[in-house]
Amino acid sequence: MWVCLTDGFFSIVRDTTGEDGLLVRARSPEHLRRAFPSHTMERTPGADYGWRIRTSRDEVADVLTDRVATLDYPNFKASVTEERLHDLYGAFWRLHWRYQQDR
């Protein structure tokens, strides 16, 4: 699952090393620190996502539930203040727009 937040981007998958846990992966360590400040991050330079944490499904659900409960912006892209993340989301938006137009 890809998750686009105003201050972070994650890929969330099942953790194959733990009991029913999740692996939350990011390309920026700051993105993980903001959402999961109490976790120890693993640096994975040879992987497609350079940083990751292992956590429970409940904790991921709590973080996402909190973000939905406090959502207060009328335009997602305009709410992203980190320039490089904003550019990433803009490119992602354009690809999705083309996908829609091709349908």
Report the 10 Å Cβ neighbour count for 10: 26
Asked if residue 40 belongs to a domain, the reply is: yes
Asked if residue 66 belongs to a domain, the reply is: no
H or E element: which one contains 63? helix 57-69
Asked if residue 32 belongs to a domain, the reply is: yes
Asked if residue 10 belongs to a domain, the reply is: yes
Contacts of residue 34, Cβ cutoff 8 Å, sequence gap at least 6: 7, 8
Residue 51 and residue 15 in contact, taking contact as beta carbons nearer than 8 Å: no
Range of the domain at 51: 2-59+73-102
Asked if residue 68 belongs to a domain, the reply is: no
Reference 63, options 14, 18, 10; nearest CA is 10
pLDDT digits (tens, 9 = 90+) for 28-87: 999 999 999 999 999 999 999 999 999 999 999 999 999 999 999 999 999 999 999 999
Asked if residue 65 belongs to a domain, the reply is: no
Is the pLDDT score of 24 beyond 80?
yes
Number of domains comprising the chain: 1
d(CA 55, CA 5): 18
Is the pLDDT score of 18 beyond 80?
no
Q: Once rounded to an integer, what is the mean pLDDT over residues 10-24?
A: 92
pLDDT digits (tens, 9 = 90+) for 75-96: 999 999 999 999 999 999 999 9
Q: pTM here?
A: 0.91
Asked if residue 64 belongs to a domain, the reply is: no
